[in-house]
Amino acid sequence: MRRAVCPGSFDPVTRGHLDIVRRAAAVFDEVVVAVGVNPSKSRLFGPEERVAMLEQGVAGLGEAGANVRVAGFTGLITAYCREIDAHAIVKGLRSGTDFDYEVQMAQMNAHLTGVETVFVIADPQLGFVSSSLVKEVAAFGGDVSGLVPEFVLGPLTDRLAEKRA
């Protein structure tokens, strides 16, 4: 059983994330989407909300997501991988900037427990999509439909409005 973990904060989940999860699920026997629920970090959406959004997103993958499950994790990702007996961490790479950031984390994680990190190159159509940019554009009224799953659009608009109020 080759189990991989796909970690992130997913605040909120984007179509880019779901594309990486779908493609990881085609390579590994099981993929666990691990939602970082570190309480010290301030996020737009709470841990349960982000987990629920991922579950909905994975359900939307249909058969391609049949071997994917979603879980929250706290602490080190390497410890979580050991806990659930995962052999690899899967990360999406959009650009050289991602690479510079991810390579250090991959090397640190390998140093800690020897876990491998496998990189999946972003679909060029989604290479500009990030949760932070989606939030920034949506906060100024820009159209982010097509960049996040449809079910994220309403909660995103509502939460940004609450923050402004």
- Residues labelled as active-site residues: 17, 41, 94, 131
E strands in the chain = 3-8, 30-36, 68-73, 88-93, 116-121
Return the closest-CA partner of residue 10 out of 97, 99, 132. Answer: 132
Q: Is there binding between residue 57 and ligand PNS (CB under 6 A)? A: no
Q: Is there binding between residue 130 and ligand PNS (CB under 6 A)? A: no
Q: What's the rounded Cα separation, in Å, for the pair 65 and 104? A: 29
Most distant CA pair in the chain, distance = 49
Q: Is there binding between residue 157 and ligand PNS (CB under 6 A)? A: no
Question: Looking at 7-15, 42-50, 115-123, 140-148, which segment touches ligand PNS (CB under 6 A)?
Answer: 7-15
Q: Is there binding between residue 103 and ligand PNS (CB under 6 A)? A: no
Is the CB of 108 or the CB of 161 nearer to ligand PNS? 108
CB of 94 to ligand PNS, least distance (A): 11
| Of residues 26-45, those binding ligand PNS (CB under 6 A) | 36
Question: What φ, ψ does residue 74 adopt, rounded to 5°?
Answer: -125, 160
